[in-house]
Amino acid sequence: MYYSQFLTRVCMPHAVLLQPKESWNSSKSNDEIIVGHCTKVPRNSNLEKLRSGYLFPEISRHESEHLRENPDASLIRLGIGDTTQPIPDAITLAMAEQVRGLSTIQGYRGYGAEQGNMALRKAIAGKFYQDMGIKANEIFVSDGAQCDISRLQMLLGSNVTVAVQDPSFPAYIDSSVVVGQAGELEEETGKYGNIIYMNCGPENDFFPDLSTIPRTDIIFLCSPNNPTGHAASWQQLKQLVEFAKANGSIIVHDSAYAAYIRDGSPRSIFAIPGAKEVAIEISSFSKFAGFTGVRLGWTVVPEELLYSDGFPVIKDFNRIVCTCFNGASNIAQAGGLACLSTDGYQDLCKVIDYYMENAKILVDGFTSLGWKVYGGKNAPYIWVHFPGMSSWNVFAEILKKTNIVTVPGRGFGPAGEEYIRVSAFGQRQNILEALRRLNSFL
Amino acid sequence: MSLMNNLSTSMISSSSSTFLAPTSFNSSRTQSVSVPLKSINIVKCVATPQEQQNAYKTKVSRNANIAKLQAGYLFPEVARRRAAHLLKYPNAQVISLGIGDTTEPIPDVITSAMAKRSHALSTLEGYSGYGAEQGEKALRAALASTFYRNLGIEDDDIFVSDGAKCDISRLQVVFGSNVTMAVQDPSYPAYVDSSVIMGQTGQFQKDVEKFGNIEYMRCTPENGFFPDLSKVARTDIIFFCSPNNPTGAAATREQLTRLVKFAKDNGSIIVYDSAYAMYMSDDNPRSIFEIPGAKEVAIETASFSKYAGFTGVRLGWTVVPKQLLFSDGFPVAKDFNRIVCTCFNGASNIAQAGGLACLSPEGLEAMQEVIGFYKENTKIIVETFNSLGFKVYGGKNAPYVWVHFPGRSSWDVFSEILEKTHIVTTPGSGFGPGGEGFIRVSAFGHRENVLEACRRFKQLYN
């Protein structure tokens, strides 16, 4: 991922010299000022509220800068949660076959259903929602959870209130700001106005204390959690469903890492009775199948989920999907179907095991260095506590001294301060090498 | 979209349709939502009225913007009608000249690149995870040199996507709800629908069949399908598609120069949809950036869908020049980049490998061949309707034929054609009130189907 640098410009008629803003001034030269035409189109004030680039391109940018300054550095990337292991043959073979079919009359496919191929929808229902009463037509195949989050925000509109975990995957907050649900960023707290931040830390077992949370329309919850790695227990999810029901709220449950659960925690919100009336679930093939570049995911919107006026949410979501989207790539979908075959799934479990073995090594490694480590048991993320330290400083130090890229916890929200997220994706030898370097450094 | 897929999906889209029901769907939920079809019930109500009353409701308000939409998106509606027709006449040889869905296989040179990329993902050296959200560098460079050579558009002005329809919505997210927009009338429905969803519009006004706060720029045979700009009020954004879907009209250099001047004088931004540029026969501009000054006033969106048959593969691109600035001087490209990084995660790497192959000399040649094939289809359809005495537009620079049925309701004509010849077309009013009295006939299809369709048209209208 790359972050483009732009030149600042001056508008001719207005002759306004722009104050360099932290957010979009790159660290590169901003001296070049070019005279040009300004349109009269006002900038979207919601986008103005965003203070910096999206977190992961920012990490990339730091990485690139570091490499520029240290061209011989042997960088180990434990930052962006990017999968590294090849996709099992059975799956890529299925995709190649689909591709070759597209060159034949019988195998050619044009537009697919925007909601996804029925065979794939059925397979998802059968594999992940068996006995939960989720039907194929409640499943919408997409090009990934990040895109679905934004489509859900477009669905919900600007007049809803949201609650997110703190820390959390930045797309929930950023998309909320973009869509106009949020107020301004409050400098002292580092929080956007109008968003409820549900603190998740060691003191509350990384699950929000719902008794302290005011009602919001929407509650985003990610489990297993990015970045903390915590998998909510059945009891915790039951509490959440009850909370949502009592408040008439909608839970958006992000289950992108469900396949990493090892301890029998629920893999879907719909394992909880009553969840169908209060929850939407998003998920992804990215971390499950190494499809980070192939692009495939899905969202479940139960038919039972109704707005206050009784209108089914699924109908509006379908309208969004038909209007703002045109379906996931049929090649990716063919791959998805192969992922859910018995052999495909088995092969993928082996890859997940590989990453989780990395995670264990990292957990043990950091622990043996004397650091308090969380996560790494049900998710490919390790959440390391550096008490009293600024996470961006720790991030910078680690990068500088050991050439290891991590992610500063602050990037996930104010409660992420003092933490570093370490991803467990990577080649085994790099994981081991990373620990060797950290040993010397820490 | 394939029939099988739509039989199930139609259960959803049909219940949001008002094409057959006279009243708005947004009225009382106690109304039955089933569509009055004579045939087997393919519509499944989500809940019966009784269940509705006892069903648990959240306290989350429905998004009022989506509630403004009058019916399902146009093309699923057409698909639903097609599905219903097939249920009624299971043995009918239905020919689809409705939804602009490509039918011819993708040339080998392109699919072999995609197959190669697929296999590579199973190897350590060839595996790649997340790609740049803006697209792979090589593809962006190839797009710049293939389509924008000498136009001053650079690689990093180009953002690769999963298609123009998705890009239109992402652009709307960039613009936000506080901008005004103008569209051609008739036009591709995604511009208006996405505008409504974003909250840029007022309510739908039934009498004129227009949404409040949108400037509809009428395009008719009388004005050569180019709006009379002297009558168009200033808006922030102007959507313009050329070659045009649905009319097939291609704007001339002179017209586009006027459009660019209009945008410059008004401080507006043109969103120029060039999805059919490669279908151009006449010597008209293929890119808005051929017009001097356009980089300061325009964004261009494009797609591999109709060039490479990538309707299901999903690949397109949007050009946002660095020179395009908001009123405060902030570059539009920066906000677009932010949206692309936050609301999107890049087009599929396999599709991008295909895109790169499309732009190789062999790939370009292969695409030209397929495009040529569809253009020949178009010619056949144009000749047929001409010979039947119809006033026919388009068809020369686009794979769409715009046939005039003066004084008739386009949905009625659509139904009549479907009922009597088993041919699916698209009713002009689906593209806006300016489309009333017209039928859009797509030229995508196997040659024998196009020929057979023309035979049936001749039978019906002779």
The pLDDT tens digits for A308-338 are 999 999 999 999 999 999 999 999 999 999 9
Residues of chain B contacting residue A84, judged by C-beta atoms under 8 Å apart: 127, 129
Provide mean pLDDT across the span A394-414.
97
Split at pLDDT 50, 70, 90, the class of B341 is very high
Instruction: Please report the pLDDT score of residue A51 as a whole number.
Output: 85
Which helix (H) or strand (E) is A401 found in, with range?
helix A391-402
Residues of chain B contacting residue A250, judged by C-beta atoms under 8 Å apart: 58, 60
Across the interface, do A99 and B122 touch by the CB < 8 Å criterion?
no
User: CB contacts < 8 Å between A and B, how many?
Assistant: 401
Residues of chain B contacting residue A107, judged by C-beta atoms under 8 Å apart: 105
Across the interface, do A50 and B338 touch by the CB < 8 Å criterion?
yes
Instruction: Tell me which of A16 and A1 has the higher pLDDT.
Output: A1
Q: pLDDT tens-digit profile of A371-391? A: 999 999 999 999 999 999 999
Split at pLDDT 50, 70, 90, the class of B118 is very high
Report the residue of chain A nearest B198, measured CA to CA.
A154
Provide mean pLDDT across the span B258-262.
98
Minimal Cβ distance to B121: which of A87, A306, A323: A87
CA distance A237 to chain B (A): 18
What Cα–Cα distance (Å) separates residue A78 from each residue in A396, A431, B342? Answer: 13, 8, 21
- To test the contact with chain B by mutation, choose from A17, A43, A151 the residue with the greatest count of B C-beta atoms within 10 A, namely A43
The SS3 of residue A314 is helix
Across the interface, do A103 and B105 touch by the CB < 8 Å criterion?
yes
Q: pLDDT tens-digit profile of B370-415? A: 999 999 999 999 999 999 999 999 999 999 999 999 999 999 999 9
**Whether pLDDT at B13 is above 50:** no
Minimal Cβ distance to A92: which of B99, B103, B118: B118
**Average pLDDT, rounded, for chain A:** 92
CA distance A42 to chain B (A): 5
Residues of chain B contacting residue A319, judged by C-beta atoms under 8 Å apart: 16, 66, 69, 72-73
Split at pLDDT 50, 70, 90, the class of B357 is very high
**Average pLDDT, rounded, for chain B:** 91
Report d(CA B163, CA B165) in Å as an integer.
6
Split at pLDDT 50, 70, 90, the class of A8 is very low
Q: pLDDT tens-digit profile of A125-177? A: 999 999 999 999 999 999 999 999 999 999 999 999 999 999 999 999 999 99
CA distance B211 to chain A (A): 16
Across the interface, do B327 and A4 touch by the CB < 8 Å criterion?
no
Instruction: Please report the pLDDT score of residue B49 as a whole number.
Output: 55
CA distance B461 to chain A (A): 30
Q: pLDDT tens-digit profile of B361-379? A: 999 999 999 999 999 999 9
Across the interface, do A278 and B58 touch by the CB < 8 Å criterion?
yes
Minimal Cβ distance to A249: which of B60, B107, B190: B60
**Whether pLDDT at B72 is above 90:** no
ipTM of the shown complex: 0.92
Minimal Cβ distance to B313: which of A304, A330, A425: A330
Q: pLDDT tens-digit profile of A25-40? A: 333 334 445 568 999 9
Q: pLDDT tens-digit profile of B415-444? A: 999 999 999 999 999 999 999 999 999 999
Minimal Cβ distance to B313: which of A175, A292, A329: A329
Report the residue of chain A nearest B69, measured CA to CA.
A319
Report the residue of chain A nearest B103, measured CA to CA.
A110
